[in-house]
């Protein structure tokens, strides 16, 4: 009898282990499909962005052209008439009313999900199925393995592997931010003349020029850097923006772990009475502090959808000569 019980227990363990492996394997497959769809799938649709009880509605067109470039056009449908066109993540035109802000901050999501090494920082759980924008979706939960990031639920279209809903949650599982498609249509590789026209910016979308020359001031900012960032976050891009009078300038750096991101802004300030601070704006932590860097007074500001304690640690690590920590 005891042998029979042991055999039954072993069989149950093998069954449960096999089920766990099957779920983990399915999650891995969805991660691979997510990564592939980002570079291959064209679509158009309408989505709602919710944050702190406010809602913005946008229309988006996205096409992978014959050269393999991702061409995206975003139009805000309520409130101010904002518009933007991006090619492979780089802004090529935008509304004049948001030109200054978009020099350092993206107003629309960049679809920066990168599955490589993502499972080092999140446990990826397969939650089941749902229905979004009239389409069946598979739900993945990205549960953080440390205190430096928030949980994220992603609802993935089963036909195209495009995320149709993304929920950013806090440590208690409360909703901080929602991006949700209410209308979605997958597009083929070949598009009509009307669809091609929809990808072009309107007359209100002004071309964005790129500076071809690196200024001496920009060279002098190369040592501006924080000395600690949460593990798993990598520098994605930097942007230098001089003021119109060249008396001040801002350097911005965007960091991502493949799922979420935060930005660090460095601004030289002449007013010694300017003080820093900390604020929590819905899902976004904003921490700023004044730092003396050589002969300059800098205001260092960390902005991102990360816990405010992590944002404070990033800002506090801005000390000349400090070694970067590993944890």
Query: What is the dihedral sign for C-alpha 181, 182, 183, 185?
Result: positive
Q: Which two tokens stand for residue 54?
A: 């406010």
Q: How far apart are CA 102 and CA 86, in angstroms?
A: 12
pLDDT of 239 reads 78
Strand order in the sheet with 284-293: 234-242, 249-256, 261-268, 296-304, 284-293, 277-281
The residues near 164 (Cβ < 8 Å, ≥ 6 apart) are: 132, 133, 135, 137, 155, 156, 157, 180, 181, 184
The CA distance from 68 to 162, in Å, is 17
pLDDT of residue 98: 60
Q: What is the dihedral of CA 288, 289, 292, 295, to 10 degrees?
A: 40
Tell me, what's the pLDDT at 321?
Answer: 42
- DSSP code string of 283-315: TEEEEEEEEEETTEEEEEEEEESS-HHHHHHHH
* Structural domain boundaries in the chain: 20-207, 216-316
**What gap in Å lies between CA 149 and CA 305, rounded to an integer?**
8
pLDDT at 221: 65
pLDDT recorded at residue 303: 92
Which CATH architecture best describes the domain 216-316?
2-Layer Sandwich (3.30)
Contact 180/163 with Cβ under 8 angstroms? no
* β-bridge partners, 84: 74, 94
Q: What is the pLDDT at residue 292?
A: 77
Question: Exposed e or buried b for every residue in 218-249, given b needs 16+ CB within 10 A?
Answer: beebeebbbebbbebbeeeeeebbeeeeeeeb
Instruction: Please name which of 66, 67, 62 lies closest in space to residue 89, comparing C-alpha atoms.
Output: 62
Tell me the C-alpha distance between 195 and 73, whole Å: 11
Spatial contact of 58 and 75, defined as CB atoms under 8 Å apart = yes
Give the end-to-end CA distance of the chain in Å, rounded to a whole number: 52
Residue position matching structure tokens 């089920």: 19
Residue 184 near residue 157, CB atoms below 8 Å:
yes
pTM of the model: 0.80
Segment-wise mean pLDDT, segments of 10 residues, the chain, 327 residues: 49 45 71 86 92 87 86 89 85 71 44 69 93 96 94 95 93 89 87 72 78 52 82 86 66 88 86 75 88 79 93 84 44
CA distance 88 to 64: 9
* Alpha carbon distance 162, 184 (integer Å): 10
CATH 2.50.20.10, domain 20-207, yes or no: yes
**Rounded to the nearest 5 degrees, what angle is found at the Cα of 58, between the Cα atoms of 109 and 176?**
55
């Amino acid at each position: 009898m005891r042998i029979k019980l042991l055999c039954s227990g072993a069989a149950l363990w093998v069954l449960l282990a096999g089920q766990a492996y099957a779920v983990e394997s399915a999650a891995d497959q969805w991660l691979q499909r997510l990564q592939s769809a980002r570079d291959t799938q064209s679509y158009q649709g309408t989505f709602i962005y919710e944050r702190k009880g406010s809602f913005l509605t946008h229309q988006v067109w996205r096409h992978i052209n014959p050269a393999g470039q991702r061409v995206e056009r975003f139009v805000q449908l309520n409130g101010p008439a904002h518009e933007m066109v991006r090619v492979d993540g780089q802004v090529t035109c935008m509304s004049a009313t948001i030109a200054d802000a978009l020099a350092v901050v993206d107003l629309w999501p960049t679809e920066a999900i990168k599955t490589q090494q993502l499972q080092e920082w999140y446990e990826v759980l397969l939650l089941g199925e749902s229905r979004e924008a009239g389409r069946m979706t598979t739900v993945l939960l990205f549960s953080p393995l440390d205190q430096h990031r928030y949980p994220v639920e992603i609802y993935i279209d089963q036909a195209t592997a495009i995320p149709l809903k993304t929920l950013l949650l806090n440590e208690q599982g409360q909703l901080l931010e929602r991006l949700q498609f209410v209308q979605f249509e997958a597009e083929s590789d070949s598009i009509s003349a009307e669809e091609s026209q929809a990808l072009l910016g309107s007359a209100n979308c002004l071309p964005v020029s790129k500076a071809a020359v690196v200024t001496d001031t920009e060279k002098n900012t190369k040592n501006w850097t924080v000395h600690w960032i949460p593990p798993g976050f990598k520098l994605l891009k930097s942007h230098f923006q001089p003021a119109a009078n060249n008396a001040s300038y801002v350097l911005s750096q965007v960091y991502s772990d493949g799922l979420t991101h935060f930005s660090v802004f460095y601004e030289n300030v002449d007013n010694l009475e300017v003080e820093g601070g900390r604020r929590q704006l819905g899902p976004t932590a904003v921490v700023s502090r004044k730092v003396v860097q050589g002969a300059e007074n800098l205001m260092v500001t960390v902005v991102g959808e990360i816990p405010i304690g992590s944002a404070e640690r990033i800002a506090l690590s801005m000390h000349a000569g400090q070694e970067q920590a590993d944890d």
